[in-house]
Structure 1
Amino acid sequence: MSFTRTLRAVGGAVVAGALLFAAAPIASADQMRSDQWPLQKFNSGSIWNISTGKGITVAVLDSPVDGSHADLTGNVLQGKNFITGSGPADNGTGDDADHGTAMASIIAGHGHGAGGADGVKGLAPDSKILPVAVPDGSAGPFDFASALRYAVDQGAKVVNMSFGNGESSISPDEQQAVDYARKHDVLLVAATGNEGVSTPAIPAAVPGVLAVGAVDEHGVIWKKSNFGPHVKLTAPGVNIRSAGSVVDVNGKYRSANGTSDSTAYVSAAAALLRAKFPDLTAGQIANRLIKTASLPADQQGTSLPDQHYGYGSINPLSALTKDVPAGSKDGPFPAVGGGSSGPSSDPSSAAGDNSGNLTIQSHKGLSAPFIILMLVVVVVLLVIVVVVVMVVKKKNRRNGPPPGGFGGPGGPGGFMPYQQQPPYQQQPGAPGSYPQGPPTQPPGQ
């Protein structure tokens, strides 16, 4: 069974180039580029004036990649083939390389022809792809640990994992590889899967991995996008035009639905940010993506993270331009080796505002400086009380006690600390198209 066919359930529901174009002639340059609606939605022209992902290597753990494709030539490194156990992974052909080629083109395609106007273009067109070919799962679950370690050792700053390995729990070797990647400041991005179920998939559900679901052109969740409390972000994953290694009526191109494609867009956005903000950690890059994400209009006011939308759909231009505090080095992830089932340092509650951008509200406890200030004030008040008592007693020794004794009713007023605001409670949003249980509200940063 080919890697593409296997990943239809987990990484990409391929529409075999015929979803909208079955009877079309070979696509014109204008048509091909206009088919890439995410680039228009993201305002890619403005993005590329700021960052193109130059200098960033994105590892694609997938099927082999057709590095000779006209839209990818020069942007694909040799990589390694963990299917055969040796040899490069940039020389894939035919059906066995279709899925990996598609993911590579969404990330780093540069088009071809005059000005790169023909073919497809990736969101980070100057980034480099490190193809790391992994088994297709036809022989059962596979261990991706060695492939992930290889990607890290080759200098990848982002790892795209548009697959599920068929297991519901991670192996010790895989967990160690994930920790290894995070200790080397590598951002791991994985697809949630395409069955429309809440069953966690590996590697997406592993703490420390950025799990991505799929939305359509209107920002509405795709009905087959898997969900759950581990979902962090969504991105375009419906009617996605990309390069391929199988020739159809449009040439070597394809159209697909799936969380594979949405994961590739998040990896590309991460590459743009890593090029623009080289001093930010992988966790801080994820944090910037999360804090600039948005929800569709009918989901405004939804308590976040939502089990379908996570913190919302990525806005790469906002992530590149908005003033977002760096935050902790781990960002929305638990500390390396924490082993928790969910983030321990997620951004606190987030809600969509009228503009569709997320407003992150922070709910922190009393800070150490504030507690010290409270203690100082209490001590000062106690000293004042003692002085007053001593003065009154001295006076009473001279003049005798006043009627009724000292102080009368009541007494010195108590110290009232600064009144904290109660945790921000968000109103439930309008019912979505896809029923869900109560979303998980993370603790504050």
Structure 2
Amino acid sequence: MTTTRRPNLLTYAALLLAALMLVAVTPGIAKAQQSPDEYLREQNEWVWKQINADKAWETTKGKGATIAVLDNGLGLHTYFEGKDILEPEHFRGGDPGTVGNGHGGSVAAAALQIAPEATIMPLVTNAPEDLPEELKTYGESAVTEAIYYAVDNGANVINMSFGPPVDTTQEKVQEALQYAVDRGVVTVIAAGNDPNVKADPIMATDGVIVVSGSNPQGTIWKDSWRGEEVTLAAPGDTQTIVESAFDNSDKNNLIDPEPSNDYRESPGTSLSAPTVAGVLALMFSADADLDGNNAIERLIKTASGNGEWNPELGYGIVDAEAAVNADNISPVDSNPLGYPLGQAGLSLENDASDISESGTDESNQTSSSTDESSMIRIWLVAVAATLLAATVVAFLILRRKKA
């Protein structure tokens, strides 16, 4: 007769432990089986759904449009593999290999989450906090040079998700922003993560888009700045971001690590701004004839506020699908948000004389004075040359007579 042995308590415990381990590792396995794009899109579903990005993707995913990301570098992450990312350009002091702590990578990924086929232009302007003081030259010169570079090298959009440069006087940055506006490049700036503190005095500059943060409920994120500077809103509440791989151990050189596949949860208007930058990339990709002024007009007219403005969300939360496919927005000839230096064209060479009437008069007077001085110098040289020639001729005649 066959005897059937019943499992003892130890066997039951082993089976239970195996089941618990399987449950515990399943999320990790699922993550590993997904591509970085799929994983990030799944985690941040509320972000792209709130702005109707999925509907805009039926028209375009941003191919051909370029977003300049002024920040502290991208770092390495599997999410960036296969993306159209240009070689970084460095505009601050210190060793070019010195990089940041992943903030720039999170910003770039937020833009690519909305416009996955757009080109990212990484412009390193910000110094990481753990650098020696002598290498912290992030400031006005780095930001202004990066803006000019972005405009001159084909950027459609400039994104700045950071606080004010420590040495900024605002004037030089405004001149650079005017340069961008006059050439049809749209600048997007993060509003800041404290309702009581303005993140950047440059927010007060006319002509740029300042973005506050929204939450999943479609209202203002609790920690977002709100105020008269706000233009539009985009998701800023907690979402999954990439954790780029850096090694700053020697404070000077980037030790090339393996690309990270890490993510973490984080809120911030640093993510809101590139979300709008991504929408702009979709718009420029879909319409090759679209200029900066009309891109801004479309964003404003198609946002959730229906043309009404308030200090929390500005003209409302951006709507990617409506902005990309807008066909009933009347075209404009000027920037709906104004101009950094007060009027259009002040950075264009042909309009340099229009900066101010007094400036023009002074310029003409200086030019006239310079012309007169030049004529006097030419006359004196001519007289001197004539006298010299006469002297030589006279000398030769006298010499022949003596001979």
Q: Shorter chain as normaliser: what TM range?
A: 0.5 to 0.7
Post-superposition offset of 1:167: 6.6
**TM-score where L is the length of structure 2:** 0.65
Look up the SS of the partner of 2:177 in the other structure: helix
Residue 36 (structure 1) aligned with residue 44 (structure 2): yes
With over 3 angstroms needed to count, the CA separation of the structure-2 counterparts of 1:85 and 1:155, relative to structure 1, is farther
TM-fit CA distance, 1:200: 6.6
Query: CA 1:44 to 1:26, structure 2 compared with 1: closer, same or farther past 3 Å?
Result: farther
Long gaps (5+) in structure 1: 1-23, 109-121, 341-445
1:281 shift after superposition? 1.6
Note the C-alpha offset of 1:287. 1.0
Query: Does 2:242 align with 1:270?
Result: no
Query: Closer, same or farther in 2 for the Cα pair 1:44/1:307, shift >3 Å?
Result: closer
The residue aligned with 1:52 is: 61
Of 210-219 and 44-53, more deviation after overlay is shown by 44-53
Superposed CA deviations along residues 354-388 of structure 1, whole A, max 9, x for unmatched, are: xxxxxxxxxxxxxxxxxxxxxxxxxxxxxxxxxxx
Structure richer in helix, relative to its length: 2
Asked if 1:128 is matched to 2:125, the reply is: no
Is residue 197 of structure 1 aligned with residue 211 of structure 2?
no
Of the two, which has the highest radius of gyration? Answer: 2
Deviation string, structure 1 residues 320-350 (Cα, Å, up to 9, x no partner) = 223332432333221462079xxxxxxxxxx
Aligned residue number for residue 15 of structure 1 = none
Alignment-mate amino acid for residue 107 of structure 2: M
Which string of whole-angstrom CA distances, capped at 9 and with x for unpartnered residues, describes residues 256-289 of structure 1?
Answer: 1111100010000000001112212212101101
Q: TM-score, normalised by structure 1?
A: 0.60
Q: Which amino acid aligns with 1:133?
A: V
The separation in 1 between residues aligned to 2:334 and 2:30, in whole angstroms, is 44
> Helix, strand or coil: the match of 2:54?
helix
Counterpart residue number, 1:261: 271
Matched, 1:100 2:104: yes
Please give the residue correspondences for 1:19-418 in structure 2 after superposition, counting only pairs within 5 Å. Answer: 25=28, 28=31, 29=34, 32-37=40-45, 38-66=47-75, 69-84=78-93, 87=96, 96-108=100-112, 122-136=113-127, 138=129, 139=136, 142-143=139-140, 144-166=143-165, 170-197=169-196, 199=198, 201-246=200-245, 251-295=261-305, 304-335=308-339, 337-338=341-342
Q: Check the 8 A contact 1:280/1:326 in 2, yes or no.
A: no
RMSD (Å) for aligned C-alpha atoms: 3.0
Counterparts of 2:243 and 2:210 in 1: how far apart (Å)? 24
Secondary structure at 2:240 match in 1: strand
Question: Which residue identity lines up with residue 326 of structure 2 in the other structure?
Answer: K
The code of the aligned residue for 2:44 comes to Q
Q: Cα–Cα, structure 1 residues 335 and 208, in superposed 2: closer, same or farther, change >3 Å?
A: closer
Task: Name the aligned partner's letter for residue 40 of structure 1.
Answer: K
| Cα deviations by residue, 1:30-89 (Å, 9 ceiling, x for unpaired) | 664321121233443332120111111100001111255343444210131123467589
* Structure 1 CA distance for aligned equivalents of residues 92 and 168 of structure 2: 22
Quote the Cα distance in structure 1 between the aligned partners of 2:166 and 2:319: 31
Supply the AA of the counterpart residue of 1:79: P
Would the alpha carbon gap of residues 154 and 272 (structure 1) be closer, same or farther in structure 2, given more than 3 Å must change? Answer: same
| Counterpart code for 1:280 | L
- Worse-superposed segment, 32-41 or 176-185: 32-41
Output the CA distance in 1 between the equivalents of 2:302 and 2:187: 19
CA distance in 1, matches of 2:155, 2:74: 16
CA distance in 2, matches of 1:168, 1:226: 22
The alpha carbon displacement at 1:189 in A equals 0.2
Q: Which residue of 2 aligns with 1:3?
A: none
In 2, Cα distance between equivalents of 1:283 and 1:164: 25
| Aligned residue number for residue 397 of structure 2 | none
What letter matches 2:219 in structure 1? V
SS of the residue 1:273 aligns to: helix
Give the Cα separation in 2 of the matches to 1:263 and 1:27. 30
Q: Which amino acid aligns with 1:288?
A: R
Identity of aligned residues (%): 30
Do the aligned residues in 2 keep the contact of 1:183 with 1:336 (CA within 8 Å)? no
Tell me the amino acid that sits aligned with residue 277 of structure 1. Answer: D
Number of residue-to-residue matches in the alignment: 292
